[in-house]
Amino acid sequence: MRQHTHVLFVSVLLGICGGSLDFKVVDLTHDHSNTTIYWPGSPEYNFTILSRGKTAGGIWLEMNYFGTAEHAGTHLDSPAHFYKDRNRTHNVPLENLIGPGVIINVKNKAAMNADYQVSIDDLKQWESMYNKIPENAIVIMNSGWHEHYPNASLVFNTDSLTDPSTFHFPGWHEDTIEWLISERSVNVVGVDTPSTDFGQTQNFAVHISLGKANISGAENVANLDAIPESGSMIFVAVTKIYDGSGGPARIFATIPLRVTSFGWTYGPSFVLFLSALCVLIPVIAHLRQRAR
Ligand SMILES: *[C@@H]1O[C@H](CO)[C@@H](O)[C@H](O)[C@H]1NC(C)=O
Ligand SMILES: *[C@@H]1O[C@H](CO)[C@@H](O)[C@H](O)[C@H]1NC(C)=O
Ligand SMILES: *[C@@H]1O[C@H](CO)[C@@H](O)[C@H](O)[C@H]1NC(C)=O
Ligand SMILES: *[C@@H]1O[C@H](CO)[C@@H](O)[C@H](O)[C@H]1NC(C)=O
Ligand SMILES: *[C@@H]1O[C@H](CO)[C@@H](O)[C@H](O)[C@H]1NC(C)=O
């Protein structure tokens, strides 16, 4: 009878624990198109249809040529972008482009001040809510600017798109970057604006500090309101351009969801708790049996 109870118990446990591990996937990338935002002076995007129709043999065939600057739309800045002898795009190890998402919400501050620069206090506020910034984090400013994309006048916040000295959009403060580099371990620092430095920068101090420290940047990140400020895993899948200084990237986040056989879904901490239970209960049951 006891034996039967054990079998029943383990079966129920397997039913709960044995469901498929599931992820919600969230795209953080703007379309790459002829509306893509380029820094002034970049050559134009070129999308040319080479074939879109039936071949002589009656087979449907679509293929295109496309040409783009590296630093366009949602993209990566390699460490080499603003620092000599740093890693270029093909050399940035893939594991340096993946990490726990840390989303720093400065939407209210940026709405009041377009020249806002993310402060050390903003990071400490995040940590007071969610704990210490995890190792190898991908830390991204959410200024709300992604909502302006792809309207260049609104994104650069200027009447003179060819003159960067007139740009007004938020970015990181160089002191905050120095703090992140010396006090925490980060893989990528990102923004939902066109530059990790704010629009009014004169010296690109943030780009230079990141490059020097071998840290990549991510710019024009989209859709940041669709992921939690903590708890996602972010992937910066940049095109592997040999000797590149950056490149267009498909940036996306996964948010863990455990789906049980019964169709329940639940978050990461409960998964951890349940996993511990799944290991511990059979062990305890086994030990008790041996003791008898
Ligand atoms: C941009 O692409 C769209 C869709 O392919 C096309 O209709 C439009 O004419 C293009 N605009 C420019 C300026 O090339
Ligand atoms: C775009 O690319 C096509 C295909 O290579 C080329 O024929 C065309 O001249 C290019 N257009 C521009 C504006 O560079
Ligand atoms: C730079 O590239 C080399 C070669 O891929 C790699 O071993 C090294 O880890 C890279 N460093 C960083 C910080 O990306
Ligand atoms: C960009 O936004 C401005 C200000 O709201 C507006 O006047 C302009 O028409 C927009 N441009 C495009 C291409 O939508
Ligand atoms: C960054 O990577 C390059 C290439 O691997 C290496 O020469 C340099 O020493 C690294 N710098 C730092 C600060 O890790």
281 within domain boundaries: no
Q: What is the pLDDT of residue 57?
A: 95
Joined tokens for residue 160: 């003179």
Q: What is the pLDDT of residue 217?
A: 98
Helices (H) and strands (E) in the chain, counts: 7, 13
Q: What is the residue range of 245's domain?
A: 22-54+61-258
Which range has highest mean pLDDT (2-11, 20-29, 203-212)?
203-212
199 within domain boundaries: yes
Distance 38 CA to ligand 4 centre (A): 17
288 within domain boundaries: no
Give the ligand whose atoms come closest to the C-alpha of residue 44.
Answer: 2
Q: What is the pLDDT of residue 45?
A: 95
Number of domains in the chain: 1
- Cβ(260)–Cβ(15) under 8 Å? yes
3 within domain boundaries: no
Q: State yes or no: pLDDT of 9 exceeds 60.
A: no
pLDDT tens per residue across span 71-95: 999 999 999 999 999 999 999 999 9
Percent of the chain with pLDDT over 70: 87
The structure's pTM equals 0.84
17 within domain boundaries: no
From residue 278, how far is each of 94, 116, 146, 259 by CA, in Å? 33, 48, 42, 15
pLDDT tens per residue across span 221-273: 999 999 999 999 999 999 999 999 999 999 999 998 865 556 555 665 666 67
E-only strand ranges, 106-160: 117-118, 137-142
Give the ligand whose atoms come closest to the C-alpha of residue 34.
Answer: 1
265 within domain boundaries: no
278 within domain boundaries: no
d(CA 238, CA 217): 11
263 within domain boundaries: no
d(CA 129, CA 102): 12
Atom of ligand 4 nearest to the CA of 153: 1
Q: Does the Cβ of 213 fall within 6 Å of ligand 5?
A: yes
Q: State yes or no: pLDDT of 278 exceeds 80.
A: no
Q: What is the pLDDT of residue 22?
A: 81
Mean pLDDT across 28-45: 95
CATH number at residue 125: 3.50.30.50
